[in-house]
Amino acid sequence: MATQLVYTPVKEIPGIVASLRKTFNTGLTKDVEFRKQQLRQLLLFMDEKKEALTEALYADLHKHKMESNVGEISSIVDECQYMIKNLNRLTKAVATTKRFKMNALDKTIIRKEAKGVVLVIGAWNYPVNLLLMPVVGAIAAGNCVALKPSEVSANTAAVITQYLPNYLDKRAFAFVNGGVEETTVTLEQRFDHIFYTGNGVVGKIVMKAAANHLTPVTLELGGKSPAIVAPDADFDVTANRLVWGKFFNNGQTCVAPDYVLVTKDQQEKLIVAIRKTLLKYYTSNPQKCESYGRIVSTRQFDRLKGLLDHYDDSQIAVGGNVDRDDLYIEPTVLKSISYKDEHVMQQEIFGPILPIVPVDNMEQAIQIINVRDQPLAMYIFAKSPAIYNNILDKTNSGGVVVNDTLMHLQELSLPFGGVGASGMGSYHGEKSFDTFVHERSTMIKSTDFESVLAARYPPYNDDKDTM
């Protein structure tokens, strides 16, 4: 196991950022071959330190190595490989062709310029993925990067901070570690882009700090992502995919289904299917099952336990047991929950508790979704395109999957991000590259045909042709 996470002395932070800016100004990171080489180094890090990362993720979140591989390691590997393969195309300036007549003989191009020095702030629930995924885009786009791992997942932060600098060019990529104090001082520095993943309360703090320098931000936030189960859904397949997406990483996934909307007459059928699936995935004693994770901290545990305390057997359809010493919360399903419920329907749950909200019909499900903030994700389980298209047409969310959960995250051809309270901006694949570049409009004028262009010069008179 790696050494303990060491917080960056606050007084060193301005110097770290200044040093990155100095490097950026040399043009080092703009060189496309340099970018590819750094991405290859990041791949090497993922390969050589896979075991250390997997161990740290287990120590922080009891993540099974399968979940670490799927949710953390392979995503970074795929993104790196995508960028290396596509970098020549992505970095190429794009010529525009349909020009205004006065510029018809000139060259107009959009150059893909690196933004400069960018800050990436990661969150604890996927501490490798959420920190390094944006970094891949930032490197590909030619930036220098300050990396701020989440201090909550301290083991993973320590491993990344200990080893990654041996792989990447230290002049261009630097770490700031710590909590609120260190992040606050970091946010006082001037960056050219800030990429933040975490909760919306801190998202506002980040955006306010960025405003002081007019720095653009990407905010990857959370919210209550609904799952709608239509009457014509395949209930067995639905249960398999819903339970997988909900209890993956112990429910601590920003796009986990937060609550389920199903018609009143089908609630019981869904519970039966979910119970069967839970037994199949995590046995009759999930606490002993290696595939089942844990809550990250006692703080988060107490918050979740506090939610559960409001319900008794009349509403706990499955689970409900907890063990504080082990940070264990049994996979729990709550039934007959009102959409106005004062506890589980107020905040994002972010743990292994799944409320089921019965509705009269799909139109009521749509109304319930639409009175809330726009969610980060939405899942619709329905066979009939008429049913799922109607729901798609009448709602909005960062992303949506029909007949599955989470899978849109792994699809690099789809941008990933929120809308409204669930965030702004997006990334993954080409979108990551776009996020970290400035599209610089560039016009290269010919010095010929001056007499034709002279019409625009003063003194103006009515005889001159207008442009």
Q: Does the footprint of ligand NAD cover residue 174 (CB under 6 A)?
A: no
Q: Does the footprint of ligand NAD cover residue 63 (CB under 6 A)?
A: no
> What residues between 339 and 358 interact with ligand NAD by CB under 6 A?
348, 350
* CB nearer to ligand NAD: pick between 114 and 121: 121
Report in angstroms how near the CB of residue 366 gets to ligand NAD at its nearest.
Answer: 23
Q: Classify residue 219 by burial, with Cβ atoms within 10 Å: 0-12, 13-18, 19+.
A: buried
CA distance 220 to 377: 12
Q: Which of 152, 154, 230, 421 binds ligand NAD (CB under 6 A)?
A: 152
Report in angstroms how near the CB of residue 466 gets to ligand NAD at its nearest.
Answer: 50
* CB nearer to ligand NAD: pick between 82 and 124: 124
Q: Are 403 and 381 in contact (CB under 8 A)?
A: yes
Report in angstroms how near the CB of residue 198 gets to ligand NAD at its nearest.
Answer: 3
Half-sphere exposure of 18 (CA within 13 A, CB side): 5
Report in angstroms how near the CB of residue 421 gets to ligand NAD at its nearest.
Answer: 10
Output the residue with the shortest Cβ distance to ligand NAD: 222
Report in angstroms how near the CB of residue 125 gets to ligand NAD at its nearest.
Answer: 5
Report in angstroms how near the CB of residue 143 gets to ligand NAD at its nearest.
Answer: 19
Q: Which of 199, 287, 297, 403 binds ligand NAD (CB under 6 A)?
A: 199
Containing 317, the helix (H) or strand (E) segment is: strand 316-318
Strand 107-114 relative to strand 94-95: parallel, antiparallel, unpaired? antiparallel
Q: In whole angstroms, how far apart are CA 439 and each of 21, 30, 205, 303, 326?
A: 20, 15, 27, 44, 50
67, 254, 330, 348: the active-site residue: 254
Structure tokens at 100: 């205004």
Q: Does the footprint of ligand NAD cover residue 435 (CB under 6 A)?
A: no
Structure tokens at 53: 């990362």
Q: Does the footprint of ligand NAD cover residue 125 (CB under 6 A)?
A: yes
Q: Does the footprint of ligand NAD cover residue 121 (CB under 6 A)?
A: yes
55, 220, 330, 348: the active-site residue: 220
CA distance 379 to 404: 7
Residue 144 is a catalytic residue: no
Label residues 144-175 b or e (16+ Cβ within 10 Å = b): bbbbbbbbbbbbbbbbbbbebeebbbeebbbb
Containing 443, the helix (H) or strand (E) segment is: strand 437-444
Report in angstroms how near the CB of residue 176 gets to ligand NAD at its nearest.
Answer: 10
Q: Does the footprint of ligand NAD cover residue 423 (CB under 6 A)?
A: yes
* CB nearer to ligand NAD: pick between 9 and 458: 9
Residue 220 is a catalytic residue: yes
Phi, psi of 229 (to 5 degrees): -110, 110
Q: Classify residue 68 by burial, with Cβ atoms within 10 Å: 0-12, 13-18, 19+.
A: buried
Neighbour count for residue 41 (Cβ, 10 Å): 18
Q: Does the footprint of ligand NAD cover residue 183 (CB under 6 A)?
A: yes
Q: Which of 13, 46, 123, 168 binds ligand NAD (CB under 6 A)?
A: 123
Q: Does the footprint of ligand NAD cover residue 330 (CB under 6 A)?
A: no
* CB nearer to ligand NAD: pick between 154 and 357: 154
Q: Does the footprint of ligand NAD cover residue 211 (CB under 6 A)?
A: no
> What residues between 241 and 300 interact with ligand NAD by CB under 6 A?
254
DSSP of 104-127: TTSEEEEEEEE--EEEEE--SSST
Cite the active site residues.
220, 254
- Residues of this chain that interact with ligand NAD (CB under 6 A) are 121-125, 130, 148, 150-152, 179-180, 183-184, 197-199, 202, 205, 220-222, 254, 348, 350, 376, 418, 423
